[in-house]
Amino acid sequence: MVSLLRCFALTALISFSFNAQAALQFAKKKISVGNKTFVVEIAESTPQHERGLMFINKLAEDEGMLFIFKNEETRFFWMKNTMIDLSIGFFDKDKTLVDVQEMKSGQNVSDADLPSYASARPAKYALEMNKGWFDKNKIKIGSKLKIH
């Protein structure tokens, strides 16, 4: 009987966790960076920041996620459960691009071996896009972010 109750409790916990992750919704907003205008998903809450682009197998050419934080500080990102390589652009409180980095997929990498990608300067916003997106679109340090 105890074993059956443990099994039921574990099943309920797994189901709750899965449903909580599946229920996490991201609003979409139009943004501009440099001369490029497109729509991205927005991550503003802590659960959204933690989930990010985990478990995504593909992004369209101009698809991505904008992380918006309450304050400006050095930001650290990792690629746990992220299936694709990404580029990340960090923007300061004035929405000026201060750093761009290329991040490797965390697929098949243990948590202990995942690198951490720290912004070179304090940032309030971070934009994750397909690998090479910033170079391909000639988005340089100093470019401005506009949220429409």
Structurally, the chain folds into a number of domains equal to: 1
On whether residue 14 sits in a domain, the answer given is: no
CATH for 135: 2.60.120.1140
* Number of neighbouring beta carbons within 10 Å of residue 130: 18
Rg (CA), the chain: 17
Residue 15 covered by a domain: no
102 burial level (CB within 10 Å; 0-12, 13-18, 19+): middle
Residue 54 lies in a domain: yes
Q: Is residue 59 part of a domain?
A: yes
Q: Is residue 123 within 8 Å of 98, Cβ to Cβ?
A: yes
> Does residue 8 lie in a domain region?
no
Question: What pLDDT, in 10s, does the model give residues 23-77?
Answer: 689 999 999 999 999 999 999 999 999 999 999 999 999 999 999 999 999 999 9
Q: Is residue 10 part of a domain?
A: no
In a domain, 33, yes or no: yes
Residue 20 lies in a domain: no
Q: For 106, how many CA atoms within 13 A lie in the half-sphere containing its CB?
A: 18
Predicted TM-score (pTM) of this structure: 0.84
65-123 residue pLDDT tens: 999 999 999 999 999 999 999 999 999 999 999 999 999 999 999 999 999 999 999 99
Structural domain harbouring 124: 26-147
- CA separation for the pair 16, 60 (Å, rounded): 30
